[in-house]
Every structure is written in C-alpha cells, then in structure tokens.
Amino acid sequence: MKRSIIFGTVMAAAATIALFATRPTSPDPSSDCERIYVGLIRQPSNTLSALGLTGVGLFLITRGNRRQRILGIGVGIAGVGSVLAHATLHPVAMRLDGVGVAVASTAAIVALSETGTNPRRLLIATVVLVAGIVFWTGSRTGHSWCDPAAPVGGHAVWHVLVAVATLIAASALIRRDAEIKS
C-alpha cells in the first residue's frame, strides 16, 4: 500500500511539473471565479481546497473497508485532477478534472449501491452535496456570488462540501458494517 501511495504521489508531481511547463499564457477560467496568479499555483484557493478531496480519498483508501476504498479511489482521482486543473489551468488538466468527477460519481454509485447502507446518513450527505452544488452554481464566473477578489470563493466551498459529503457517505458504510457484525 505504501508503494502505491508513493508511486501515485510521484506520478502526480511529475504530471504537475509537465503541465506547469506547458501551461498556456492566457487561460480561460470561465467557471472558477478566482483571481489567476502567476507562478506554480494559478488558483490557490481552489487548488488547496481540491487537495482536501485528495486527502479524503487517501484516508478512505488506507483506512476504509472495501466500499469505502472504492469511494476513496474515486474521490482521490477527482481530487488529483482538480488540483492539477486549478494549479495549472492547463487544458489537459482541465479535462482530467472532468474525468475525475465522472470517476468519482461512478465510484460513489458502486460503493453506495449495495443494500443495507444507512439511509439517514446518506440523506445528510446528499443535503451537504446539494449545498455544495448551490455554492458552485451561484459562484461561477458571471453569476451573482462571483467575486474573484474573495479570499475563498464558492468553487473552493464546493470542494470542501464534497469532501464533507464523502466522509458522511463513508460513515454510512461504516454504520452498515457495524450493523452486519451485530
């Protein structure tokens, strides 16, 4: 397990360096509503909040049961794609972000589809996720909550709420395992 984490970290670092070296000079941050900075991290708030998704993914992969690991892999991939996208604003990284969201959604469906999952916790996770979607939608460039000068934008809040919703959903899976063992 340690080797795979080290390998994944090295690959993510290599991809970041490669994308940074070839990033375009005039990116189009049409949906992120965060001021763009020159340097290694182009959108710091969105990048750091996406790093939280990666951390939640790694936590579930290393500490969880089988279904939590599936959920963790999906969210971890989404987090890495989002970190690369917001750090570099490179078109390839932006596509990886989109692919990561698709992988995370598929992993969530697989992990949560088995019977016996705690419905109350899943409802709470869904409410948190919907709140995240509201923040993400309302703060997109050109929308009413968009303020590129804000220290933390709605897109970063979206990342944090997805991480929280994932942990709540994972706790529904812990609860299920505890009920089965009883």
Q: pLDDT tens for residues 52-69?
A: 999 999 999 999 899 899
pLDDT at 33: 86
pLDDT at 82: 94
Q: Which of 80, 171, 177 is nearest to 125 (CA)?
A: 171
pLDDT at 39 over 90: no
Taking the model in full, what pTM does it have? 0.79
pLDDT at 17 over 80: no
CA 51 from chain center: how many Å?
7
pLDDT at 9: 56
| Section 65-76 average pLDDT | 92
Reported as a single tens digit per residue, the pLDDT across 107-160 is 888 887 776 778 888 889 889 998 998 988 888 888 888 888 888 889 999 999
Give the confidence band of 48 by pLDDT, cuts at 50, 70, 90: very high
Cβ contacts of 119 within 8 Å, gap of 6 or more: 172
pLDDT at 118: 82
Q: Where are the domains of the chain?
A: 2-181
Q: What is the secondary structure of the chain as a DSSP string?
A: -HHHHHHHHHHHHHHHHHHHHT--SS---TTT-----SSS-SSHHHHHHHHHHHHHHHHHHHHS-HHHHHHHHHHHHHHHHHHHHHHH--HHHHHHHHHHHHHHHHHHHHHH-STT--HHHHHHHHHHHHHHHHHHHHTSTTSTT--TTSSS-HHHHHHHHHHHHHHHHHHHHHHHHHHHH-
pLDDT at 149: 83
pLDDT at 84: 94
Taking a C-beta distance cutoff of 8 angstroms, is the pair 74, 107 a contact? yes
Give the confidence band of 29 by pLDDT, cuts at 50, 70, 90: low
Average per-residue pLDDT for the chain: 81
pLDDT at 25 over 50: no
What is the C-alpha separation between 119 and 140, in angstroms, rounded?
31
pLDDT at 106: 83
pLDDT at 167 over 90: yes
Lowest mean pLDDT among 67-71, 102-106, 176-180: 176-180
pLDDT at 27: 44
